[in-house]
Each structure stands twice: as C-alpha cells, then as structure tokens.
Amino acid sequence: MADQLLQIRRRRSQEDELTRRRFLELVSASAALASGCSPDRPEKILPYTENPRDVTPGVSTYYATSLLIDGFATGLVATTREGRPVKIEGNPAHPASLGATNVWHQASVLELYDPDRGRAVSKRGLPATWDALDAFLARPVTGQGEKLRLLLEPTSSPLVHALVSAVKQRFPASKVTFYAPTPGQVPGAAARALFGATLAPRWDLSHADVVVALDADFLATPHDLRPARDFATRRRVRASDGAMNRLYVVEPSVSVTGSLADVRLARPARRVQLLAAALLAALDKRPDASNGALTRLAGALDDDERRFVAALVKDLASRAPGATLVLAGERQPAEVHVLAYALNVALGNLGATLSFSEQAVPETAGDQDLPALAREMHAGAVDALLVLGGNPAYDAPADLGWTRALQAVPVSLFAGLYANETARAATWYAPLAHPFETWGDGRAQDGTWSLVQPLIRSLHGARSVTELLAIVAGAPRTGDYARLRSAFGAPRGEVRRLDESGAERLEHTDPAVESAWERLLARGFDESTAFPRQVPEPRPAAVTDALTRLAARDAGSGLELDFLRSPTVHDGRFANLSWLLELPAPIVKLCWDNAFFMSPATAARLGIPAVERSEPHPVVEVSHESRSVRGPVVVLDGHADDTVSVWLGYGRDGDERLAKGVGFDAYRLRTNDAPSFASGASVKLRPERYPLAFTQLEERQHERALALTTTLAAYRAHPDFTAEHKRPLPSILPEYRFEGPAWAMSIDLTICSGCSACVVACQAENNVLVVGKEQVRNGRVMHWLRVDSYRVGSAKSARFVHQPMMCQHCGDAPCEYVCPVNATVHSPDGLNEMVYNRCVGTRFCSNNCPYKVRRFNWFDWSVHERANQGSVELQRNPEVSVRERGVMEKCTYCVQRIRAAEIRARIERREIRAGEVTSACAQACPTQAIRFGSLTHGATAMVEWRAEPRSYYALHETGARPRTMYLARVDNPNPELT
C-alpha cells in the first residue's frame, strides 16, 4: 500500500511539471489540430524545422471560437502564439459579444492553463484509466436505465442536447436534470403563463428612453454583452443639447447597473414585487387589472417607494409608446416577470423595445429538477449518477442533503475541469477538457449557433462532456469534430484525407459544403441560425393569476438574505483563477474574499461596529433556517436596509489550491425554495475580526478634479463646466513637436459601468502578475489599470461614478523628470515609456505621479506568489516582458500593439490606419467607454469625443498635460425625485 501511494505521488509530481518536451508536443499537436484533425488519434510530433501550417514563429494567429457561460455562447477570437492561446477577444461580428468581453471571457485563457485542473481519471481517489472508465460508461446500468440519472449544467449546445437524446434513446427510462446554482436567464414560466409559450425576452435597450430595472443587473449579464452596448448608445449624450435615456433601478445591493442609475431605490428584493404591482396599478388602466390583489400589493408601499412610483409613473406616461422598457432580473420569481411583461404591454413596448424568441437554453429540456433528483437519490432509486460538469456537492441548496444523497448512490461519476467538492464525493472522477481544447457548439442568447473550436490539444488528455455522453449513448466514437461536422453538412459526403503535415482531415466531397464549413470555422458562428423574433399575444388573465399568487404568498419579513452571483468568481466555477480572485469587485473594490454586505443603518441597528476599510472587519454569524455561516461584514453605502447580501462562490474546498480558504461558503445558507433571496435571517456579532483586502479605501473625491459629474439639466445650462479642467496652462517649458501618430485615449465616464473587464483584459495582455491577498492589503496590487469608483449622491441612495485610471501618458510627465536614470522618458509619438531594463527602482516616479498609476515589483512576484507559477506561465504574452523585481511598471497604452502595427504598416509601405490599433482595455470594454487611437487620425470617435464640451483632463491643475481625456459623467435624474 505504501509503495502504491509513493508511486501515485511520484506520478502526480511528474504530471505537475509541464516539461519543455511535453509543451512542444502539445504545441505541434495543437498546430496540427488547427488544420482540423481529430485529437483522438495519435499524431506525429512535428519538429519546428518544418513549420506546421498556419504557424509562423513570432506571429500571432487568430481563431474564432466561443465560450459558454450560463449555457449561452459568446463569440470570441482567440490569439494564439506558436500554438498556445494567450489572449481572448470578443468576436466583433458575434451578436452576444460585438467585439467586447467580460471578466470571465478574459480569464478563460488562464483557466485553460490552471495547474490545479484535474489531470487524470480516478476512482475512489485512486488513479484509474480512461479504459476502465469507458468500460463503466459503456454500460453504467442494466435494463432501460430506470436507475440511471444524468446531471448536467444548463446548456444551449445542440450537440449536447442531441447526445442527451441519444442517451435517452438507449436508456429510455433514465432521467436527465439540468442544474445551475444561479439563474442564467429570466424564468420561462412567466412567458408561458402570459403568452402560452416558453419564450425568452429580447430587449432592445438602444431604443428605450426610460429603462426601469427591477433587481435586474442587465449591464453585467455574464453571457450577453449586447444589453450594455445598446444601453450605452442611448446613454451617451453627444452634445450639450443632446438626449439621453433615464435609468431607474430598484435593487437590494449595489450592482453595476445600480451604480449607473439616475434614480436608485435601495430596497430588499422581496419588495420589488410590490413596486411592480404599484406601477402596474398606476399604468394599466384596464378594469380587470385593478383587482383586489393589485391594490393590496400596491398599498403596502412606504413613503419613499410611493414617491418613487409616482414620479416614475409620471415619467413613463409622458413618453411615447414603445420608448420605454421595464426589466426584471432573473433573480425575481416568475410572477414579477409577468408583471414586468404586463407593464411593457401597458406601455406599448411589446413589439418595440421588447420582443420574444425561443429560449436558447431550453428550460424544459430536463426530466426533473434537482430536488426531485435528490429525493430519488435519498430513496435509493438511483444506481448510477453521471454528473457532467457543475459542482452540486458545493452549490446545491443546503436543504437537499446532496452529499448524503450521493452516498446513497452506488456508483457515481463526476466529470469536471477540476477535481472539486463533487469529485471527492463521487465514485469516479474524469477530467473534463477546457472549451479551448475541444470541439463543441452553443447558441447565443438570440439563438445564433456558435462554434467552439479547439485552440490547443488537450493539455491533460481530458475529454469533453459530449465524448462522455457519446459513450453512454453507445454512439460511434467519431470524435466531437466529426459529430459537429456531420451536424453541419450532409454526413454522407465525408472522406478522410491526409494533409501535407501527414495529419488526417475530414473533408467533404461537395466543395460548396466544404467552403461553407471553412467559412463557418473562420467566422465562428452562423448568423442565419438566430431565432426569429416573436411578438406574442398576451393573455390578461395571466396577470391576474400572478397578482393573486403574489398577494397570497407571504412576502416575508425580518432581515432579508440576498444571494448574489459573485461579480468575479461567478457561482464559484472560476474560484481558482487568480486574476478573478484578485480582481477588485466593481464598486466595493474587495478582492480575495466575499463578505456580508449591509447598509450603515442596518449595521448600526445590529450593533456592528464601524471600521475603516483598512482595519480588520467585524465578523458575524448569519443564520437562516437553523443553518449558520460566519463571515466578515462590509458596510456598503447605498445598500438596502433590512437586507444582508452575500456573494456566492467562495469558501471552496475542492482540489483547487488557490480557491481553498478564500472567503466563506454562503451556499450553506441557501435553501431550495428561496434560491435568490430569503427572509427571516438573523445576524449575531462575533468577537473576532477578519482582515479584508480592498484596493480602494476612500469612496469620496475630496474636492479633487478626478471624476467629474453633472446632471443633464446642468450640462444643458452650463456646457462649459469643464472648461477650467482643460484650459491651456501657462508654462515655461518648450512645446515639443511629436512625430507620427499621437496616441491618445478618450474615456466616457457616462457609459463606464465599472464592470472591470478592462482590468482583466489588461492583465492578460500585459502579463500583469497577481500578488495575493496580503500584498493587496499592503497596497502592492499590480493592476496597470484600475477602475476607481467614487460615490455620487447621498450615502442612502448612493450611486457611483467609475473612472478607469491608468497611465495618462502626460505630455509634461511629472514621473519622467524625477527619474535619475532616464528609465521613463517620452517617445517621439508621445508615449510615456517605461524602460524596465534601465530602471533601478528609486520609486521617485511613483511618488510624483498624481494619478498613482505606477506599480512597483516589490518582490519577484513570479517567485514570490504561487498563483503566478506553473503552467499559467504558458499564458504570458511573448510580446511583453515579465518584469523583474525592483523595477517600476505601468500602463504602456499597449505599446506592443502599436509597434506591431507600425511594423505591419512599414512592410506594406503605408501609414497606420485609423482604428488599426486599439488597447486591450478599449477592445474589451462592453460599452465602448474607452476609445483608443491617434489624434492625427481625424474623424474617429476617440478624437471627436474630445471636442465634446464635457471632455476634461483629470487633475488638470497639476500641469501634467495628460494624453488621456475623460468625458464627464452626465446623469439624468428625475427632477421630481431630487
């Protein structure tokens, strides 16, 4: 036994090392993959003397692919270098991306290389082989599958659904469950009730003048970046006499959307239904709508809510039909969505700003829900359970007793990216391939069929969910590529051919099909597959039903507990990604932890002492239905009273080494009947304190001209209110003549939502290393780009202005003249350059930087911090040096991209074109609030924005003459509510 263990340990440690040889193997293999061969068969290793096709050393190659989050596909473009994916961008043509990305897309490339990913099949914790697992999967149960159960994550993938059907064909009596801990879309039941069909809403925010978000964080939808873009186009006020939309938000905590609101009402989530009912009562004039339930619900409002509703109703009524939009969030119950749809119907928005289409992730695909499955498991009605993805042992509702239920199942399999909590409880563990390692597909929210292309051969020989399903279904093991290829074209024309590198390719005999397939691969999706928009006919009775049900249900009282998807680690699936763990959460700026959030008034009522953000925080024990969890409290301005909100996804206890011990597990408080919010929680102060890592400690601006704000009315009255912040400053310094393009940035604070995608994009592009919680607490975070969030308005209805702050590339840079060794100087095209090799590390430049955007390598982070080590090093951008300890670093305006474009332009004997270069942050930005380009390129948005009256330079009075220009945040408050 001891010998065996020793062997296991040795093998693991060997696997931990991604050797050079192994890496080259992978690289050449993945290069061969790029030409479309199946990864199942062993390929010949190609020496680099004979270049694999499409790979030129030193030149990036780009592949269109997709990533599924919450089951929905977002089209992406992956940059690979010598066969290794290094950066993810949005696919500009893809409807769910529009070229933008969010933090999770950006971090997905880190997930690919995560050294903690599962590497081998195991059975009861001991190493096993794929062959043994295949044997089990080929025959998991006997008979018709009465005792076979499948548990999958909700997905839009037609391939997965087809294979699930195949499994059902082979085991007709088996049952399939789709489960995700946090809702990914609004409940289809609402549409089913109101329109008679399970439909998904399609919002058109680009035509809505008034947007009412009822607990809806639509600007931070994890899988769809279109709402944010559409909202921004209507939001951006172009001239001082321009128009902009108005955003009303009701929400318990402070979300990204809420921070941007013009009118923000912080209320417990359970009161949203009352507000929706009150709105409906005031707006829907039909006689049957004014029933007793409605008046009862609407009558429960307090004074502030009544004022809010009155003003909102007046505003909505004053708008043209179809020019408004009422949104309810996916956390809210179906009844509230019925009311929201009814409101839109009453406002004439149906068919205008609101239409419907088929659900891309079909809610009805499963046979039973998780509680039913758990009941069966407890009852011993399950012999074999196949959990393909997800992490139910960690995130299932606490009252299901999931782990005990799993123990009642004789044989279970967990297939996942990591050997997580569920893997530990299951019999078998199979490592799942990362989306960048497999073929696959999915649909965007609007139905667009998007391809998942592998970018590299599976690093650990892992397999995809579809491959496992195919074995269970007894389908021929042709591989995902063949299956996908077959789904696309007529299967009968396929032949296998050898390409010039000797690898096998699947080709079609019909050249038209073949070229269409190649086009699809190149584009990454097929736009013709988007679901048609529908404008269904509402049934008014459904509204009455919903109202009656709401009125009958006890809305709950006492302290409300709100379970929120973490803005950084989602539902916990990304909890091992150091970029996300260290990403300061939007608005709160907390990283490496979660916490219980509450308003100052509630904290005072509960006797929780006020502390500075830098001090250790008080710890509370929050109890709900006999379960309790301990965690630190963060008092948050703008949080609803009588509510405690908490991020899910922390307190992980799987094999993920970074995630372990970060934060606490709030799932343990969550029950099946109240997955999003629950009433009746109690809070008890504990004697201990817990230190938290915030990147921003102060939320007011202290009269500094950093992030300027105004209102639309004030802007119209005084368009030149920023004149003081961009006037020419007297100077005795000479005027430098810059040559070539003049790189610059314009950032519109009005449409910056603070989502922080730019921060992770910058980190991925520029090899920004993570430093860990202790060092963040020490003030040594390395992000080149930070998003500062300053409070606007009173503490009670706080909103936040977000300011992406990075090196401003000052013309008269204060950092430069204080450097004793000329390590930071100005380039002829006006960049503030940081020469790492020349830096001796006096840190004088940082002291003299008014924007405090310079970062210092206090240690050799790649040695000092474990999160930077191991295979994640493969993600590093070869165009950007990894900085040595002791040198200063900062935003370079992505100079490597500028220089690459220069080289391209020189080879082609031309000037750099407008729009040819953009920075990583600007490229990622979902609302396009960051614009990058050259001042010499004329009519680009970046240049035109600077001419707008509200443009200004941050801290202009310091005389640094920055290149980055901000556009002041304009809010459009309702005058009746100010």
Q: Does residue 486 touch another protein according to CB under 8 A?
A: no
Bridge-based pairing of strands 263-266 and 246-251 is parallel
Q: How far is the CB of 845 from another protein (least distance, A)?
A: 9
**Contact track, another protein, 348-387, x by CB under 8 A:** ----------------------------------------
**Contact track, another protein, 709-748, x by CB under 8 A:** ------------------------xx-x------------
Q: Does residue 886 touch another protein according to CB under 8 A?
A: yes
Q: How far is the CB of 416 from another protein (least distance, A)?
A: 36
Residue whose CB is less far from another protein, 521 or 825: 825
Distance CA 601, CA 637 (A): 9
Side-chain half-sphere CA neighbours of 10 within 13 A:
6
Distance CA 479, CA 463 (A): 10
Tell me the one-letter amino acid at 841: G
494 neighbors 508 (Cβ within 8 angstroms) = yes
Choosing from 22, 161, 170, 885, the residue that interacts with another protein (CB under 8 A) is 885
Strand ranges in 408-479 using DSSP code E only, listed in sequence order: 411-416, 428-431, 440-443, 449-452
Choosing from 192, 780, 796, 904, the residue that interacts with another protein (CB under 8 A) is 780
Token pair for 451: 């391809």
DSSP state, residue 411? E
β-bridge partners, 825: 833
Q: Does residue 815 touch another protein according to CB under 8 A?
A: yes
Angle between helices 103-112 and 757-765 (to 10 degrees): 30
Site for another protein in 249-268 (CB under 8 A): none
Q: Does residue 690 touch another protein according to CB under 8 A?
A: no
Choosing from 183, 675, 680, 814, the residue that interacts with another protein (CB under 8 A) is 814
Q: Where does this chain touch another protein (CB under 8 A) — which range of 18-26, 111-119, 476-484, 878-886?
A: 878-886
Distance CA 603, CA 80 (A): 49
DSSP state, residue 890? -
Choosing from 669, 887, 898, 967, the residue that interacts with another protein (CB under 8 A) is 887
Residue whose CB is less far from another protein, 530 or 634: 634
Q: Does residue 889 touch another protein according to CB under 8 A?
A: no
Q: Does residue 839 touch another protein according to CB under 8 A?
A: yes
Q: Does residue 955 touch another protein according to CB under 8 A?
A: yes
Residue whose CB is less far from another protein, 625 or 860: 860
Q: Does residue 956 touch another protein according to CB under 8 A?
A: no
Q: How far is the CB of 734 from another protein (least distance, A)?
A: 5
Q: Does residue 701 touch another protein according to CB under 8 A?
A: yes
Q: Does residue 790 touch another protein according to CB under 8 A?
A: yes
Q: Does residue 825 touch another protein according to CB under 8 A?
A: yes
C-alpha dist (Å) from residue 632 to 150, 588, 597, 620: 37, 14, 9, 6
Distance CA 679, CA 252 (A): 13
Q: Does residue 696 touch another protein according to CB under 8 A?
A: yes
Closest CA to 886 of 851, 861, 852: 861
Q: Where does this chain touch another protein (CB under 8 A) — which range of 314-322, 414-422, 510-518, 837-845?
A: 837-845
H helices, E strands: number in the chain: 31, 41
Residue whose CB is less far from another protein, 706 or 713: 706
Q: How far is the CB of 703 from another protein (least distance, A)?
A: 4
β-bridge partners, 819: none
Token pair for 120: 């081998």
Choosing from 22, 424, 505, 826, the residue that interacts with another protein (CB under 8 A) is 826
312 neighbors 278 (Cβ within 8 angstroms) = no
C-alpha dist (Å) from residue 736 to 739, 830, 964: 10, 9, 17
Continuous segment of H or E residues that includes residue 175:
strand 175-178
Q: Does residue 805 touch another protein according to CB under 8 A?
A: yes
Residue whose CB is less far from another protein, 842 or 936: 842
Q: How far is the CB of 635 from another protein (least distance, A)?
A: 18
Token pair for 179: 């489960």
Site for another protein in 843-872 (CB under 8 A): 843-844, 846-848, 850-852, 854-860, 864
Tell me the one-letter amino acid at 16: D
Q: b or e along 479-495 (b: 16 or more beta carbons within 10 Å of the residue's beta carbon)?
A: bbbbbbbeebbeeeebe
Q: Where does this chain touch another protein (CB under 8 A) — which range of 405-413, 558-566, 675-683, 835-843?
A: 835-843
Choosing from 818, 905, 914, 941, the residue that interacts with another protein (CB under 8 A) is 818
Q: Does residue 892 touch another protein according to CB under 8 A?
A: no
Token pair for 930: 């960051």
**Contact track, another protein, 597-636, x by CB under 8 A:** -----------------x----------------------
State the chain's maximal CA–CA distance in angstroms: 90
Q: Where does this chain touch another protein (CB under 8 A) — which range of 321-329, 500-508, 698-706, 970-978?
A: 698-706
R_g over Cα of the chain: 28
Q: How far is the CB of 731 from another protein (least distance, A)?
A: 8
Q: Does residue 822 touch another protein according to CB under 8 A?
A: yes
**Could you tell me how many residues make up the chain?**
978
Choosing from 371, 600, 740, 959, the residue that interacts with another protein (CB under 8 A) is 959
Choosing from 32, 388, 452, 819, the residue that interacts with another protein (CB under 8 A) is 819
The site for another protein, by CB under 8 A, has a size of: 71
968 neighbors 710 (Cβ within 8 angstroms) = yes
Choosing from 820, 907, 908, 939, the residue that interacts with another protein (CB under 8 A) is 820
Q: How far is the CB of 887 from another protein (least distance, A)?
A: 6
Residue whose CB is less far from another protein, 605 or 961: 961
Please provide the DSSP assignment of 76-141 as one string: EEEEEETTEEEEEEE-TTSTTTTT---HHHHHHHHHHT-TTS--S-EETTEE--HHHHHHHHHSSS
Q: Does residue 391 touch another protein according to CB under 8 A?
A: no
Choosing from 816, 879, 948, 971, the residue that interacts with another protein (CB under 8 A) is 816
Choosing from 59, 135, 697, 903, the residue that interacts with another protein (CB under 8 A) is 697
Residue whose CB is less far from another protein, 618 or 850: 850
Choosing from 124, 702, 907, 908, the residue that interacts with another protein (CB under 8 A) is 702
Q: How far is the CB of 965 from another protein (least distance, A)?
A: 17
Distance CA 496, CA 503 (A): 10
772 neighbors 867 (Cβ within 8 angstroms) = yes
Choosing from 609, 779, 938, 975, the residue that interacts with another protein (CB under 8 A) is 779
Choosing from 884, 896, 936, 949, the residue that interacts with another protein (CB under 8 A) is 884
Closest CA to 520 of 480, 485, 479: 485
Strand ranges in 338-403 using DSSP code E only, listed in sequence order: 354-358, 384-388
Site for another protein in 402-461 (CB under 8 A): none
Q: Does residue 704 touch another protein according to CB under 8 A?
A: yes
Q: If you search the block for the tokens 């914790």, which residue do you land on?
A: 125
Q: Where does this chain touch another protein (CB under 8 A) — which range of 379-387, 546-554, 881-889, 963-971?
A: 881-889
Query: Which three-class secondary structure string do you get for 65-92?
Result: EEEEECCEEEEEEEEEECCEEEEEEECC
Distance CA 698, CA 806 (A): 18
Q: Does residue 947 touch another protein according to CB under 8 A?
A: no
Token pair for 94: 């893809």
Choosing from 919, 958, 964, 972, the residue that interacts with another protein (CB under 8 A) is 958
Residue whose CB is less far from another protein, 275 or 801: 801
Query: Rounded to an integer, what is the distance from CA 650 to the centroid of its chain?
Result: 16
784 neighbors 807 (Cβ within 8 angstroms) = yes
